[in-house]
Structure 1
């Protein structure tokens, strides 16, 4: 049923998945009065969904289906606190725009432009959330895997990254706000994970973590055994997942919204694992489990 519907990428799937998001969104804002702020949140998430879907479809990091988009929405449903337009959200959006360039390096068209743009978006994201500079590893990994290291490919992302950073420094220097600029490099780390130990978040994390690890074990051996373009993409996805996990672990103020950084690689890994399962009945059961538990989490 669900496997047949989401097993193909069709325009109607986007409508259904946005309706699913509206269900999560309504439950999370049930006690709030309707306002322009709520409408703004909806519009911003349409932008996020569009960028996410573009990256998946354009770079073929999953098969031609809607599973990744479905998992992305369900992950938001598990942690509806991520439906919040704050600095973390804007940083995540700029990271998605950065990822567009990272994953598109598998083609040789306009390579230096893509590398510069990737560095530029990462620089903007750094100004919003300094810890996202860790994703620089992902850009250099993509260059190494899909292109090759030269002085141009090594310097271009740095030029792109430091362009907005330098402009911001100039602004701070001119208006005597250099303390604001210095704060970008003050990476205080909070090792208190008490918020994640709450049953409302711990149980979904264990459930999602289990299936993510299961998907990795299903997909990784067969993928690494074949030398092709997707093998390189899979290595990149694994680096992305590890980088995002470290980033979330280093956050100095935990609000759950930081988990947004994990949703992209997690959704892709889960999708690739699901694609390895041939029996549609098992796929249906897994998808129903995710859907039911995501709505159940509201009552934990």
Structure 2
């Protein structure tokens, strides 16, 4: 049974996840190879693939460190399946790196529950999200998660509200300095598009429609139970679970605003969605329903490869 394989964290699970990630990565590049493959091209693709793997490892670390799921491998399985569902998410290097920094920023935010080194964590979180926004402007929306964390932790220290803005200002100042030295221009480094678009016609294909429908239908259904279940979590962990739902909402808004809707923007949604759906799978008591639920999530990405 599928659930018995991924119900525990085992080395074989990481091998399966790696295989799915490789498949998603290679599938996305079938249309990119229009010229003879050179050593430089291969080297660049290896680097991009390693960023994908690093993202999954960081994601798994965040979950295990903050007890966002039980000791299983559902969340990384789902993340890799989402990559296979919308393999375009592995193409845009800027978005891949931006998403990695967003995850690092969320990690710092969630670690606030220890109430240790609060100032440095706020600064680091803002720093990571600001760097992410340099690579993909709309990633700056995740900055909203920081004041929400202050509310969740009932932090009324005025200095803690100011520190995140200092983190953003630090990145801006360094970026301007690098831009002047490298390009002899103050704002040349800020190339990421700040425009937005509500033209969803690029999604008008069977593959996109099925994939997006799967993400939102399973995600929305699981979110209902996820929100109900937060009250049952330990008091010290509730803020982290709330941050996950905030991150999911922000990622959804980011998808709506994305200036180029080519599928890569959905990457920001994968991590919070994988956590939310994993939490739902964990509370399902009917073993057969759980098997069917997970089987559909696995089958759809592979069926989409045939389209």
TM over 0.5: yes
Residue pairs, 1:66-215, within 5 angstroms: 66-146=73-153, 148-173=155-180, 176-180=184-188, 187-215=194-222
Counterpart of 1:46 (choices 49, 53, 64) is 53
> What corresponds to 1:293 in structure 2?
300
> What corresponds to 1:267 in structure 2?
274
1:41-67 CA distance string (max 9 Å, x none): 322212111111111111111111111
- Segments of 4+ in structure 1 off by > 6 A? none
1:173-198 CA distance string (max 9 Å, x none): 565413426766x7321111111222
Q: What TM-score does the superposition give when structure 2 sets the normalisation length?
A: 0.89
Counterpart of 1:234 (choices 237, 241, 248) is 241
* 8 Å Cα contact 1:122-1:136 kept in structure 2: yes
Gaps of 5+ in 2: none
CA distance in 2, matches of 1:264, 1:79: 14
Aligned length: 299
Q: What TM-score does the superposition give when structure 1 sets the normalisation length?
A: 0.91
1:67-98 CA distance string (max 9 Å, x none): 11111010001011111252111211111211
Classify 1:40/1:243 alpha carbon distance in 2 versus 1 (closer, same or farther; 3 Å).
same
Q: CA RMSD in A?
A: 2.2
> What corresponds to 1:21 in structure 2?
21
Classify 1:170/1:154 alpha carbon distance in 2 versus 1 (closer, same or farther; 3 Å).
same
* 8 Å Cα contact 2:134-2:190 kept in structure 1: no
- Offset of residue 218 of structure 1: 2.0
* 8 Å Cα contact 2:175-2:189 kept in structure 1: yes
User: Bigger shift: 49-58 or 33-42?
Assistant: 33-42
Gaps of 5+ in 1: none
Classify 1:97/1:222 alpha carbon distance in 2 versus 1 (closer, same or farther; 3 Å).
closer
